[in-house]
Amino acid sequence: MDKLIYTAMSGAKHIFERQASVAHNLANAASTGYRAEEHRLRAVPVQGAGLPTRAFAVDASVYSDFAAGPLQQTGRALDVAVHGSGWIAVATPEGGEAYTRNGSLEVNVNGVLQTRGGIPVQGDGGPISIPPDNDIEIGRDGIISLKPASGAQNTVSQIGTLKLVNPPEADLVRGADGLFRLRDGGAAPADPNVAVAAGFLEGSNVNVVDQLVSMISLARQFDTQTRLLSTAEQNDRAAAQVLSSR
């Protein structure tokens, strides 16, 4: 009974957290470049004083699904989708570097190329500045070319290259802002093999049907854990009555 109480109690707590994760995935089913996440649980014995039968269910790891999402054509010059494996590097406000698959970019009032969330995109030499009155083209290799919107329109100039990286997936962790970073806090080197498709955006890789099935399954598991706690309480009450009658 001791093990039943501890396992059911901690199991119910973490199942509730898994339900929150599934709800978060469903809320981002239409978010550009979103990667589904999953909480993985395991049982561990409780250390220290007390009965050795005690066990906790713990959140062992948070797994991110790195499978590619569907490509959606937009025709917009500043929309880019990473083709296959790889990431777009951005400069975080803390001065570090993070990575995203959301290639919906824009130019701010200061001419800096950034994400829709206002985070500057990393280039081969730092943030990328776009001069006004130019048409922008982004090549497969991330090279950004400009063509004057007026005047000598046959003149094309290259102003920089998107920093495209492809670190090992095991080295990446998701931050609270939804961006991925290296576990050691460093910066991944540029990978010339990473390619992008201009005029496309990558959709979320969340499978809505699977997530709904998981939500139903977790609700049933949570109900089972709470019923186990009720059973443990009833057993404890019955045992106390037996002992008191002696």
Q: How many CB atoms lie within 10 A of CB 152?
A: 7
Report d(CA 184, CA 11) in Å as an integer. Answer: 31
Contact in structure between 104 and 38 (CB atoms under 8 Å): no
pLDDT of residue 13: 80
Say how far apart CA 173 and CA 64 lie, in whole Å: 8
Residue 10 tokens read as 């901690």
Quick one: pLDDT at residue 12?
82
If phi > 0 it is left, if psi is from -120 to 50 it is alpha, else beta; for residue 4 that is alpha
pLDDT tens for 116-149 read 989 999 998 888 998 888 889 999 999 999 988 7
Of 125, 130, 79, 89, the residue nearest 108 (C-alpha): 130
Domain coordinates in residue numbering, the chain: 2-67+206-244, 71-202
**pLDDT for 107:** 92
- Given this model, what pLDDT does residue 132 score? 85
Q: Which two tokens stand for residue 55?
A: 């066990």
User: Distance between CA 16 and CA 3 in Å, rounded?
Assistant: 20
- Total-model pTM: 0.79
Q: What is the pLDDT of residue 28?
A: 93
Positions of the chain with pLDDT lower than 70, given as ranges: 1-3, 41-43, 48-61, 151-154, 245-246
The pLDDT value recorded for residue 135 is: 87
Report yes or no: 178 and 203 within 8 Å, Cβ to Cβ: no
DSSP-derived secondary structure letter, 12: H
Is the distance from CB of 99 to CB of 187 less than 8 angstroms? no
Classified as helix, coil or strand, 93 is coil
